[in-house]
Structure 1
Amino acid sequence: MAWIYLVIASFGEIFGVMSINLYLRKKSYSWLAMIIFTFGSGFVFLSLAMRDIPLGTAYAVWTGLGAVGAVLIGIIFFKESAGWKRMLFLVCIIAGAVGLKVLG
């Protein structure tokens, strides 16, 4: 169950970063509230995951999944570039997260 909590926590980070981007475009209290809610829920689920997953592994996987998700959100919704070098390094982040899970 801890790994499911960790994935949910990563979504909190992904949508939190997306909310920041949307807030910067349309400064409204609703987007500000969304930032607080998404990051807050992400931290709650991260803390639940860290009951069973070591700190270093949980944090590395959480930030890795969050980074990959944020880049993909940027590419899909905000028309950011999707060059091959960028994709290569995303694969490296994913490989690192998988490696920590397998070896941890």
Structure 2
Amino acid sequence: MDAVGVLVAPRLRGDRVRLAVSGAQEKEITTSLKRFALVAFGGFIVNEALLAVLVWTSLLPQISSLILSTGIAAIVTFFASRNWAFRRLSKDPAPRMHLGR
């Protein structure tokens, strides 16, 4: 119910939120989304490859291998997203959201 309230409440109050996005910001968003798609795919590959190696070599029980490979893939994906996929292309300060009617 909270999600419905969040979606409906601004409309009932008559508030409208618009995000001012320039052409440069659109390009930056598109670039970040493409990079994130690569990071997500890479995280999947890291997870599956590490899980296959751990299960194949029988170094750990299967559940431990699953937990370890998923944890490592999550950490790799987090840092790749943070430091590459969503890195700002320009040196300008972060864009601000403009609220208005």
Q: TM-score, normalised by structure 2?
A: 0.36
Q: TM-score, normalised by structure 1?
A: 0.35
Q: With CA pairs under 8 Å and 6+ residues apart, which has the higher RCO, 1 or 2?
A: 2
